[in-house]
Amino acid sequence: MKRSTILLASFILALAAFGAAQTVTYQYPAYADPCQNPAILKLGTPVHVTTATTTELVPVSTTKPNAIVYVCGYNLTSVGTGVITFKTGTKVSTACDTTPTSLTGSWLIPTATNQSTTGDRGVQFAGIAGGELCLTTASGVTSVDGYINYVQQ
């Protein structure tokens, strides 16, 4: 009788342990690349430039003033013959007019072309802390249209 009581008590304890509610928390593994981290929201912005100028594409974050813009992907269609360049900097009076830094080389645009990449390859290029993302177009480029996917953190 004593042995059956011990076995029954052991069985009840085992059932209680298995039947207890268990909380499972899934955490994403550490990602060095914010563009590949599924837990980080990806943002997008349209691109529409029709003059030879420097145009702000992504402004400085109002909630995170020292955030960096990480470009994850883009698709641009250009018309005209000239050069386009992505830049970063800060704005005093015009887009990227203070500490402008080129993020890409100068892309020579022949008559009409499409430049694109998807975000599945990770960060394409990144700005400076507290900087905006700009696109500079040279004379001869009559329009640049498309979109940019990015993370700002």
The predicted structure's pLDDT at residue 140: 86
What residue spans define the domains of the chain?
2-152
The C-alpha atoms of residue 97 and residue 49 are separated, in whole angstroms, by 17
* Binned average pLDDT, 10 residues per bin, the chain of 153 residues: 52 52 56 89 94 93 94 91 92 91 88 74 92 92 92 94
Task: Output Rg (C-alpha) for the chain, integer angstroms.
Answer: 26
The predicted structure's pLDDT at residue 81: 86
The predicted structure's pLDDT at residue 7: 47
Q: Which fold has domain 2-152?
A: Jelly Rolls (2.60.120)
pTM of the model: 0.76
The predicted structure's pLDDT at residue 85: 94
The predicted structure's pLDDT at residue 2: 58
The predicted structure's pLDDT at residue 30: 72
The predicted structure's pLDDT at residue 104: 92
